[in-house]
Amino acid sequence: MVTKSYFYFILFLPCVVGECDRDTGPCGVTECFLESLYYNEYQWGTCITNAYMQEKSAGKYSCRDRTSTYCYYQFMLELHEMESGLVYDDCKCEKGQEYTQYNLPLPSRCYSPSGSDCSWYQDCLENKCKCNGTEDDYAVAFATKFCNLYSQSYQDFSQEGQQWIDAVRKCL
């Protein structure tokens, strides 16, 4: 079963200076930062959209600056569901340290899905929730199957219909 905590992407950072521009992002940019009000050490954070954050948390969480389109999502929240305190070794980084792909727990495209990529369920959801081989592995198969069914007739829908399909795919 997909846990409740997976959907609570939680508290996001307000104004971290860096490459996650509040208006233009881009999604997936990962940087080392210190959020001194909440944590005592530097950690990695990934730029995601405020809309995606709100969608996945059922409106519970958003960027602290609610006018921002993008903001950082810190690894301590993603990996350990901790909003403040000590930064664990698997989330730590050194000031100025460059991001490398192994630092990200998921591929950068997983943090704000488009709704048009049916491989997201296997590549992102499965990697996050580890359902394969459990009684809950039907969830990824179900979502992938219905996502692909929408794809077969996608061009037959109006632009508004296609936007609706892309939005629904995020909820499968």
What would the two tokens of residue 86 be? Answer: 């000590």
Tens digit of each residue's pLDDT (9 = 90 or more) over 47-64: 888 888 777 666 767 787
Confidence of residue 7 (pLDDT cuts 50, 70, 90): very low
Give the number of residues written for the chain: 172
What would the two tokens of residue 39 be? Answer: 């944590």
Confidence of residue 103 (pLDDT cuts 50, 70, 90): low
The rounded mean pLDDT for the chain is: 78
Spatial distance between the Cα atoms of 4 and 128, rounded to a whole number of angstroms: 13
CB-CB contact of 31 with 104 (8 Å): no
Tens digit of each residue's pLDDT (9 = 90 or more) over 76-93: 877 887 878 999 998 999
Q: What are phi and psi of 128, to 5 degrees?
A: -80, -45
Q: Interior CA angle at 170 toward 73 and 3, to 5°? A: 65
Q: What is the reported pLDDT for 57?
A: 65
The predicted model scores a pTM of 0.55
Q: What is the reported pLDDT for 167?
A: 82
Residue 131 pLDDT more than 60? Answer: yes
Average pLDDT value for residue range 118-138: 80
